[in-house]
Structure 1
Amino acid sequence: MRTLFKHTSLLLFIPVALALTACNEQKSNTLPVKYAPIATLSANGIGPINGTTPFNLHEITQVFQGYNVAQHTNFADGNQYPVIEVNQGIKRLMTINPDLKHDKVFSVMVQDNLIKNGLGHPIGMKFNEIYPKPKLDNCAPGMEDLEGRVLCYAPKAENVLYIFTGIWNGPNNALPPLDVLKDWQLASIVWKPPVNKTLGKS
């Protein structure tokens, strides 16, 4: 049985991105029909961005020409690290995090529907629309910066994590019951390069 707790590496980078996005959450991330997406998220990456993409401001700016691409320094637990943000005006579209060496892209948090979710679940979609037959062993309550949210693997994509928000009066360190969780909405999407499952096999 797979659980989020068995994939701790998938959880470690999320508070990093969320800390940068908490002050810039939008009331609605619904994509108007007249706007075409600027990139598409899949299990393999976001547009041309994948695990081999250099974590480099110039490289990312070339991909998203016409958008506000900026590098910032964030702090957590006394340590500092860079992130690259892609914005349209003041609206955050996504946050890109580096690996430990600040060499390659380690993860991307998608925060707006201008980044199309190729898995078929736009930001704002309800939990029960994404998981008609949910299995809560694929979900976990958020911790630290993600407290009060619920994290779930995307259907059929173990390297994509969905972050849900909603209203519940229960404890933050527990999963809401399904009759509550069903109405929670997808708030953001976290992508990480897929693991090469052939490694370590004889």
Structure 2
Amino acid sequence: MPRTPAIRDSRRHQWEKNRVRRPRSERAGVGATEHDTGLDCSELVFHAAYDETDASEELAVAFGVPVGAPLLKRSYRTRHATESAPFSLVTSYFPRALIEANPELLDPAGEPWPGGTQHQLHTVGIEVDRVEERVTARPPTPAEARELELPAGAPVLAVRKTSYDIHDRVVEIALITLPGDRTELLFTTHLERW
């Protein structure tokens, strides 16, 4: 059975930022998954789970916090209503101290958040300046192959997304696993004119 394809275009981050200060009604109409797939939100099933975790050495270095500092860990799974496999496996991290001024950001009941992560950060006074995405291809783990319902031999695309604020501070790290058999990555680089 063919799966719904998704195109993850690098311009999606500016699209999301452009909507941060728009009214809730406009932000709620179309989210990043709808943007990437062309589907309507009524065609999607969304699941979010939040946990508090301690910063590992790797995440502590990236965020500039002590090892063991509290982090909010968010896991997302979104799928087409007629399919059983999600489009991706997403695990996102914030330093808890960065976002706790808005208790709504600690509650998964607010998901899907109209306007996405950039709007969430905006509610605590953070403006995202840039997003860095590192992409590698690899074989899936057995758990990833099962959850994404990958055909034998299909790779996954592993994306490490790091969001920086206007003060060059890392404000979010997301680990995204995309099914290589139905995801297209599109990178558009605008060059400054002379």
Q: TM-score, normalised by structure 1?
A: 0.31
Q: TM-score, normalised by structure 2?
A: 0.31
Greater share of residues in helix: 2
